[in-house]
Amino acid sequence: MEIYAIRINGLNDPVGFDFAPLLCSWKVRGNTGKKQQGSKIQIASDKALSCILWEKEGGLNSLGEVLDLPLQPYTRYYYQITVRSDVGEQAKSDIHFFETAKLSEPWQAKWIGVQGDDTHPEFFKAFALRKDVQSARLYICGLGIFEATINGQKAGNDLLAPFINDYEEHYQYCTYDVTNLLKERNEISVLLGDGWYRGHFGLGEPTHYDRPLALIAELRIVYSDGSVETICTDESWQYRRSFTTLSDIYNGETQDHTRPLGDWQSAVVIGAPGKLCERYSPPLHYRESFPVKEVVHTPAGETVLDFGQNFAGHVICTKKIPKGTTMTLEFGEVLQNGNFYHDNYRNAESKFTYVSDGTCREIRPRFTFFGFRYVKVSGLDHVDTGCFEGRAIYSEMDQTGCIHTGNEKINQLFSNSLWGLKSNFLDMPTDCPQRDERLGWTGDAQVFCTTAGFHMDTRAFYRKFLRDLRSDQKRNGGAAAIYLPNAFPGLSAGIWSDAATLMPKMLYDYYGSRELLAEQYPLMKDWVDYVYRADKARGQKNLYDFGFQFGDWLALDGSTEQSTFGRTDNGYLCSVFYFASTRYVADAAKVLGLEEATEYEARANAIKAAILAEYFTATGRLAIDTQTGYLAALKFGVYKEKQRIIDSLKDRMKKDLNRLKGGFVGSTMMNCVLAENGMVDKAYDLLFFEGFPGWLYAVNLGATTIWERWNSILPDGSISGTGMNSLNHYSYGSVVEFLYRYSAGIQPAAPGFRKAKIAPCPEIRLGHMACSFDSAGGRYVSSWNIEDDGSLTFHIEIPFGCEAEVFLPEQDSKLLTAGSYDFQIRTQRDYRALYSGSTPYERLFEDDRAVAVLKKYVPEIVAGTDRADAEAMSKCLNDSRYRAQLFRMPTEAFDKAIREIETIRA
């Protein structure tokens, strides 16, 4: 038995973080027993655990046990977990640690800056050590972005620190263990850049924030004799301009190593630009690397590096570049007519320029990042691809979900969704990593969060985002922002701002922490109270049908395919989400034992009643006849008669020729809602559709991430527009949740996946499914295969301390405890069959075997039919009422054809 994934607040051996509340979690594998019989946590001041400071024993909560020991500043705590199973086996974990920062200790250091308007300074301090060093920590915040070195070695491995902050509220400071960097004589250097804090940032025409560059730092040295020396930023520090001449999140970075740096000057003590707080951003650093896949010599005479994957990060160059040479790297996502292109980056220049002094060094940006696949290299006589490397930057998270199927296009789609996350989880969930935006849009975040929770352990990452959202909300009377950092204080919108409730619900469902739910409950409550007050002020309609709304953003049922607003009524859609948010507040209040749960439940019921009265007819028909309208009603349980909504959705899909019409709301929930309501075959048809609009359309055109628009690239390879067209936008990657929840069939049935529902849905077009999900409760596995003889085989694993109710096709359910299980079953349905009676006819027209059957029984249908008119035919042929009328023949002929077509196998 092994204890693994030991985390403090979702972080691995964290140093210098805000630890309120202090939660320890762990998982168990390699077990013989089924569940935990007993457990113990011991915390000590030394790694040998010889001086125990605190311990707790009993039925501890592995999802997140509260460690309620009083914490001291500047202190490293070591801890170990012991678990005993129900069969007597016992395991001890490795010894882990967490370390506090300054806590309430006052800063001795002073904020320092520069004289005049010099930008991109380098601050410097030389010092000598008096004794042997036991430990040394650097506590530091540099605004906007800093990089610190001691004796030429980087302090810590963070990039872009101190990350993205609520700049109106506080700035995070970082803590780094620099013990091994110190010598007898030392030099500390800190470079500053603009970042989100000071440079161009925002939506549309970005705002340039003219905030002062500033630095505060304390190097706290503990000597072997126990004495302490602290080297602080003050007037004794010096500064000069650095080799950086431009640093901007959107426009990139310029480093000129040939320009005179000027004389050292005394630093200026300045007033504090804001409050400091311990960091709460997860570590942010290089996570993966890519060699150059191909060098493209374009028709325009350019040299372009293709890294084969769209991602966010840097290109590192190790080539020694002759003195005076200017190397320029420009970043793009796609080639056009074989040439370099990045017009879809809009106002973002996205460029890295390096002027060489002839010194051999690792050449890299420090104060920006890029979203790209292609890099145009200018200024070099020869490009040695072995000297260039792509490095992906994203916040430190464990990958928890993995899916592999027998369909390579679906495997690529899974990869695209995962890389959409990696590219946009750079300290906050951005919409895109490349153009002049890169904002923490709350709408994108909430529609994708339930998918992201399968892909990665997102609890620390999303907790940071929600803390910033709450901080901003408190200044705006309960209004939850549409994006962070918020350039429109007080502006909110339904669905987007509902991230304030939907994301905390997801975190509780996936990770099961009541403590974190309690932390986020004020965010949830204040958001629905804000809408409630606004509605009450205009007469209490119990609807959210007022104010600016995005609605079903980028839906295809708008006025044109390039429209931003869809056809689904915004008042209806936002009211449904308002109902869901209010219900989630009531549910959270119940979990937390709050009496106000009754009040919010009553509010939710009143909102639902108002929606039914306003948007449904007396007979139960939904007046909003769109895909998204029906999907939202089914997802959140807003209807008079469920079956009528299901039937109406089916009719709407027929009218829409079984094509996706929804946008960021409808299409992101489409497949899961279909599967949940008995239409998994329709969900699969949409998943496997390879034309426009569909997920595999982009895969077939070589996409390695998810696009913002279904047709961001046209079939001829040209980009469909530049106004709003990102090729790395994760929202539509939400479809992979369908693969986890329904194809593999893994769903939470209790908070933190202590109990799961496993109900896999085999599909011959997938071939086979192999899915693992290392949940907060432990690792689930759900795999299946369709055998040659028509039987179905399943392999299921349930982790220690968990249970699952397993539903296999046409079988009675089974409640299984921890363990590994294999099943082989036979069903009445032949899962080898490619087609059924509900298969869209245009699919049949693509298979010569199916066409031959149709010619045999209903030759009138296929006479002269080709794929071009198959889509138009589909509208009629999928409805028996139209078939008989159009072709004046009995439907029995069609039925015979379908029965024979159902025998066609892969």
Per-residue pLDDT band for 887 (boundaries 50, 70, 90) equals very low
CB proximity list for 864: less than 8 A, separation 6 or greater: none
- Residue 721: is its pLDDT beyond 90? no
- Residue 872: is its pLDDT beyond 60? no
CB 6 within 8 A of CB 26: yes
**Can you give the pTM of this predicted structure?**
0.96
Among 46-55, 200-209, 277-286, name the one with the lowest average pLDDT: 200-209
Q: pLDDT at position 877, please?
A: 53
Q: How many CB atoms lie within 10 A of CB 572?
A: 25
Q: What is the mean pLDDT of residues 285-297?
A: 97
Q: pLDDT at position 12, please?
A: 98
Q: What is the mean pLDDT of residues 219-225?
A: 97
What does DSSP say about strands 284-291 and 90-92: parallel, antiparallel, or unpaired? unpaired
CB 67 within 8 A of CB 41: yes
CB proximity list for 865: less than 8 A, separation 6 or greater: 845, 873
What Rg, from alpha-carbon coordinates, does the chain have? Answer: 29
What does DSSP say about strands 238-241 and 244-248: parallel, antiparallel, or unpaired? unpaired
- Residue 868: is its pLDDT beyond 70? no
Per residue in 642-672, pLDDT tens?
999 999 999 999 999 899 999 999 999 999 9
Average per-residue pLDDT for the chain: 94
**Integer Cα distance of 293 and 533 in angstroms:** 56
Amino acid identity, position 409 = K
Q: pLDDT at position 845, please?
A: 84
Q: pLDDT at position 66, please?
A: 97
- Residue 715: is its pLDDT beyond 90? yes
CB 113 within 8 A of CB 24: no
Residue 67, token pair as written in the block: 């460690």
If you search the block for the tokens 């048809």, which residue do you land on?
A: 685
Q: What is the mean pLDDT of residues 101-118?
A: 93
**Integer Cα distance of 896 and 898 in angstroms:** 5
Q: If residue 610 lies in a helix (H) or strand (E), which one and from where to where?
A: helix 597-615
Per residue in 345-381, pLDDT tens?
998 999 999 999 999 999 999 999 999 999 999 999 9
- Residue 889: is its pLDDT beyond 50? no
Q: Indicate if the alpha-carbon torsion angle 577, 578, 584, 588 is positive or negative.
A: positive
**Integer Cα distance of 630 and 655 in angstroms:** 14
Per residue in 588-645, pLDDT tens?
999 999 999 999 999 999 999 999 999 999 999 999 999 999 999 999 999 999 999 9
- Residue 464: is its pLDDT beyond 60? yes
Phi first, then psi, for residue 532 (nearest 5°) are -60, -45
Per-residue pLDDT band for 211 (boundaries 50, 70, 90) equals confident
Q: Up-side HSE of residue 761: CA atoms within 13 Å toward CB?
A: 21
Percent of the chain past pLDDT 90, that is, above it, reads 89
Per residue in 777-834, pLDDT tens?
999 999 999 999 999 999 999 999 999 999 999 999 999 999 999 999 999 999 999 9
Q: Up-side HSE of residue 180: CA atoms within 13 Å toward CB?
A: 5
Per residue in 315-330, pLDDT tens?
999 999 999 999 999 9
Amino acid identity, position 769 = M
Q: What is the mean pLDDT of residues 703-719?
A: 96
CB 843 within 8 A of CB 689: no
Classify residue 395 as exposed, middle or buried by CB count within 10 Å of its CB (0-12, 13-18, 19+): buried
Among 126-135, 593-602, 840-849, name the one with the lowest average pLDDT: 840-849
**Integer Cα distance of 377 and 826 in angstroms:** 59
Per-residue pLDDT band for 859 (boundaries 50, 70, 90) equals confident
Q: pLDDT at position 871, please?
A: 55
Q: pLDDT at position 881, please?
A: 46
**Integer Cα distance of 544 and 331 in angstroms:** 42
Q: pLDDT at position 882, please?
A: 45
- Residue 697: is its pLDDT beyond 80? yes
Task: Select the more confidently predicted residue: 837 or 265.
Answer: 265
3 state DSSP class of 83? strand
**Integer Cα distance of 804 and 813 in angstroms:** 10
**Integer Cα distance of 173 and 596 in angstroms:** 37
- Residue 886: is its pLDDT beyond 70? no
**Integer Cα distance of 757 and 750 in angstroms:** 9
Per-residue pLDDT band for 517 (boundaries 50, 70, 90) equals very high
